[in-house]
Amino acid sequence: MLPFSLCKYRISCYFCEYFYFMKISKGDRVKFLNDVGGGVVISISDKGMAMVRDADGFDFPVRISELVKIVTDEEEEILGIEQKPDSEKADENFLDEDIKEVLPDICEMNKIDKDNPLVYFALVPSDMRRLLECDLDAYLVNDCSYRLYYVFARVDGEQFIPLRSGSLEPNSKFFLQSFNRGIISANPVFAFQALIYRASTYFPVEPLNTRVNVMPLSLYDTHTFTSNAFFEEKAVLYPLNVPDLTSVIEQTPASQIEMVVKEKEQKRLQKVAKPNPRPGVREVDLHMHELVETEAGMTNKDKIDLQISFFRKELNKAIRDREKKIVFIHGKGEGRLRQEIRYIIDKEYRGTAVYQDASFEEYGFGATLVLLGSAR
């Protein structure tokens, strides 16, 4: 019997079986669960991430929970996994089409690894050349498929002093503020409270309410800051003990699964009635090859000026059109374009727009999500 909570609904999932029996390791051939293609695992981090190299030689950081191992015939024989006759498969095919349609949504919630924290408080040195002297940039990292509405506070005795609040998109991170090491030494305890939810139908989750006690002396030890899946720089990550989302599924009655089915059906009918559904988040690619046919004769200054001009034009258009969110893809590079557009937002659009790193699951470290109006 599989250890997955969906087993109580007698849902047999090829992905779940193989994921249980076959642990993904370096050198394995894998397929992407939520995308086309796959590749070979070239490294695995201790944060639940794997680096996958595709057939074209490109490397992609992917969560291990979103990879499916390609099992060889020899491995199937070792594991005792036999192909079932078509007659047996037909007997097991008891689920109607509606249940099958929502199965990916339920499996997505079920595959969360309860042993790996999904939300982190991160401290990142602002200048890696002065690792043990510089200020520390504080981030909130959301590494799950739920949204967070959070409050970040400093603990003073029995009281909380709010420092920042807001919402955080799934699989993204947000800059909270910079801290002088002396301030952290004097006030090393921080508190996080958060509502955990989704924009569509979801199973309720207990709110997050936890504290982080930073050990000031550890911030003067180079070994404290380590490579990670969320930042290009080394950082120290503090898990925030998110409630076990897997247990939510285990406690969910079949009636609520039926509710998800009905919700899916209603959305399908709405799409039929509305041939022009509301578009999703608009993406603006600022790479030069998207803006001009040739870069011949252009200096670096010409290029950055053109990119900034196009950025201003698209951001102003988004504000006029009352868009809530827009993603600017700038790539990793040396980070100059990223710094420039964030400086412009801070200086010229204060009160109108705020920014955060776009989903590192979708864009790596190469995009900025801008929130406008009521979405801020």
DSSP string over 116-152 = S-SEEEEEEES-GGGTTTS-EEEEEEE-SSSEEEEEE
Neighbours of 169 (CB within 10 A): 21
- Pick the range with the lowest mean pLDDT from 107-116, 132-141, 158-167: 107-116
Mean pLDDT of 289-313: 86
Task: Return the higher-pLDDT residue of 90 and 49.
Answer: 49
SS3 287: coil
Mean pLDDT of 167-185: 88
Residue 193's nearest CA partner among 237, 146, 240 is: 240
Q: Which residues are CB-contacts of 50 (< 8 A; sequence separation ≥ 6)?
A: 24, 30, 41, 43, 44, 61, 62, 63, 64, 67
Q: What CATH number does the domain located at 5-110 have? A: 2.30.30.140
Q: What is the mean pLDDT of the chain?
A: 74
Q: Distance of CA 323 to CAs 167, 353, 355, Å? A: 17, 11, 14
Q: With 80 as the cut, is the pLDDT of residue 35 above it?
A: no
198 and 146 Cβ atoms separated by less than 8 Å: yes
Q: With residue 305 as reference, give the H or E element that holds it.
A: helix 300-320
pTM passes above 0.85: no
Residue 90: what are its φ and ψ, rounded to 5°?
-65, -35
Task: Say what the pLDDT of residue 270 is.
Answer: 54
Task: Say what the pLDDT of residue 14 is.
Answer: 44
Band (pLDDT 50/70/90 cuts) for residue 300 is confident
| Residue 353, strand partner residues | 372
Q: What CATH number does the domain located at 119-243 have? A: 2.60.40.1600
Residues of the chain above pLDDT 90, percent: 12
Task: Say what the pLDDT of residue 94 is.
Answer: 42
Task: Say what the pLDDT of residue 138 is.
Answer: 93
Q: Which amino acid is at 157?
A: G
Residue 280: what are its φ and ψ, rounded to 5°?
-85, -160
How do residues 119-144 score in pLDDT, each as one tens digit? Answer: 899 999 988 888 888 899 999 998 88
Q: With 70 as the cut, is the pLDDT of residue 235 above it?
A: yes
- Pick the range with the lowest mean pLDDT from 82-86, 164-168, 207-211, 279-283: 82-86
Q: With 50 as the cut, is the pLDDT of residue 251 above it?
A: no
Band (pLDDT 50/70/90 cuts) for residue 110 is very low
Q: What is the domain partition of the chain in residue ranges?
A: 5-110, 119-243, 282-375
Residue 230's nearest CA partner among 361, 338, 331 is: 361
Q: What CATH number does the domain located at 282-375 have? A: 3.30.1370.110
Q: Which residues are CB-contacts of 200 (< 8 A; sequence separation ≥ 6)?
A: 263
Task: Say what the pLDDT of residue 19 is.
Answer: 43
Mean pLDDT of 161-167: 91
Residues of the chain above pLDDT 70, percent: 66
371 and 325 Cβ atoms separated by less than 8 Å: yes
Q: With 80 as the cut, is the pLDDT of residue 209 above it?
A: yes
Q: With 60 as the cut, is the pLDDT of residue 71 above it?
A: yes
Task: Return the higher-pLDDT residue of 263 and 288.
Answer: 288
Q: Which residues are CB-contacts of 5 (< 8 A; sequence separation ≥ 6)?
A: 110, 246, 247, 249, 250
Residue 299: what are its φ and ψ, rounded to 5°?
-85, 170
Band (pLDDT 50/70/90 cuts) for residue 260 is low
Task: Say what the pLDDT of residue 256 is.
Answer: 52
Task: Say what the pLDDT of residue 73 is.
Answer: 59
Q: Which residues are CB-contacts of 16 (< 8 A; sequence separation ≥ 6)?
A: 2, 4, 6, 107, 110, 111
Rounded Cα–Cα distance for residues 125 and 310 (Å): 31
| Domains 5-110 and 282-375 agree in fold | no
Task: Return the higher-pLDDT residue of 63 and 333.
Answer: 63
19 and 6 Cβ atoms separated by less than 8 Å: no
